[in-house]
Amino acid sequence: MRMRNDNTSSRAGYAWPARFGLGAAKAVIGTLAGLGATWLGLLIAATGSGFDASAADQLRRGAGGVFTAFGAGLGAPVDWRFAGTGWTGRIWPVELLGQASPLLWVLLGPAAALLVTAFLARWRGCGLAGVLGIGLGYVVTVGGGLLLVDTLNTTGGPALLTLSTPWLVAAGFTGAWVLVIAVLGKLCAIAVTRIPQAGPRHRFAVLAMVIALVASTTVAAGGRPAMGGYPSATAAAIDRLRQESGSDFLLAMDTQLDVPSLIGVNSSLRSGTGGWLTDHAALFGLPDPARQLRQVQEDTDRLGQKHIRYQQTVDGVPVHNAVVIMHLNTGGESVRAISSSARPDLTPVSTTPDVGADKALAVARKALPQGKLIAPIQLFVRGERPAKDRKTDTRLVWRVWLSDPSSNTSNDYYVDAHNGHLRWSDNKFETGRDIKVLDDQHQGTDSEEAPNPETVWAGGHHVGPNDVLDADKAYDWTGATYTYYRDKFGRDGIDGKGMTILSHVRHAVDWVNAGWGGDAMYFGDNMVTPDVTGHELTHGVIQYTANLDYLGSPGALNESYADIFGKMVQRHATGKVVTTDWTIGAGSAAGVIRNMADPNNGNDGNDETKFWQPDHMDEYVYTCMDNGGVHYNSGIANRAYVIMAQAIGEDRAEQIAFRALTTYLVPTSAFFSAAQATVLAARDLYGQNTPETLAAQQSWQQVGVLGREHEYVFLLCICFIPIIISDTDMDQFPDIDVPADDILAGAGHVRDLMQRNASPALTHYGRVIMDTGKDIMDIFNKDRALRDQFIRTMTTLSPALVSVLTDEGDTVVVTKQMVDQSNALFDAMVAYGTENERPDVVKTVTEERADVTPALIGKTANQAMDELDKHTR
**Active-site amino acid positions:** 536, 631
Largest distance between two CA atoms of the chain: 131
User: Would you tell me the crossing angle of helices 816-835 and 784-803 to the nearest 10 degrees?
Assistant: 140
Q: Which amino acid is at 537?
A: L
Q: Which amino acid is at 757?
A: N
Q: Considering only CA atoms, give the Rg of the chain.
A: 33
Q: Are 410 and 427 in contact (CB under 8 A)?
A: yes
Q: In what helix (H) or strand (E) does residue 3 lie, and over which residues does it extend?
A: helix 2-45
Residue 602: Cβ-neighbour burial (10 angstroms; 0-12, 13-18, 19+): exposed
Ramachandran class of 588: left when φ > 0, alpha when ψ lies in -120 to 50, beta otherwise: beta
DSSP assignment of 730-753: HTT-TT--S-HHHHHHHHHHHHHH
Q: How many CB atoms lie within 10 A of CB 189?
A: 15
Using DSSP, state whether 462 is helix, strand or coil.
Answer: strand
Which residues, in sequence order, are bridge partners of residue 335?
Answer: 267, 328
Q: Is the dihedral of CA 658, 664, 666, 672 positive or negative?
A: negative
The 8-class DSSP code of residue 139 comes to I
* 843 contacts: CB under 8 Å, gap ≥ 6: none
Ramachandran class of 421: left when φ > 0, alpha when ψ lies in -120 to 50, beta otherwise: beta
Q: Are 156 and 278 in contact (CB under 8 A)?
A: no
378-383 and 372-373: which strand pairing?
unpaired
Q: Which amino acid is at 650?
A: E
Angstrom distance (rounded) from CA 476 to CA 9: 112
The 8-class DSSP code of residue 536 comes to H
Q: Which amino acid is at 818?
A: M
User: 219 to each of 110, 133, 163, 216, 767, how far by Cα in Å?
Assistant: 15, 16, 10, 5, 58
Half-sphere exposure of 714 (CA within 13 A, CB side): 16
Any idea how long the chain is? 873
| SS3 per residue for 284-304 | CCCCCHHHHEEEEEEEECCCC
